[in-house]
Structure 1
């Protein structure tokens, strides 16, 4: 499936957001996610079905001050 991940077009073999994160080697990483501009909580990722052309944003938390 063709997806846009953090602004880059990618071919990802996944039917839902949780599978896409696993395919992109995020595994159990603590990240925030959004699909087409809508925040998707971690608990809802497995039920968030993806479609060709969806835009996924993955953001890792940062520390600093």
Structure 2
């Protein structure tokens, strides 16, 4: 089965077993190059595998900001 979420405001269908780590992998960008948030909550890289996506989730990916 699958369901719909939004990724950066665009609808996307994912499998019902998808984690945030699975989604980041499917986006085709190096995981270390992206920061992620689900429903407005920042999710650290190391926690993505434990975040089960649910129907209607709003996922945002962005470039981490570094510098001083």
TM-score range, shorter chain: 0.7 to 0.9
Q: Which residue of 1 aligns with 2:57?
A: 54
**Aligned match of 2:8:** 6
For structure 1, which runs of at least 5 residues remain unmatched after alignment? none
In terms of fraction of residues, the more strand-rich structure is: 2
Matched residue, 1:28:
31
What TM-score comes out, normalization by structure 2 length?
A: 0.78
Give the alignment's TM-score, normalised by structure 1: 0.81
Q: Which runs of 5+ in 2 are unaligned?
A: none
Please report the RMSD computed on the Cα atoms of aligned residues, expressed in angstroms.
1.9
Q: How far apart are 1:41 and its partner, in Å?
A: 0.2
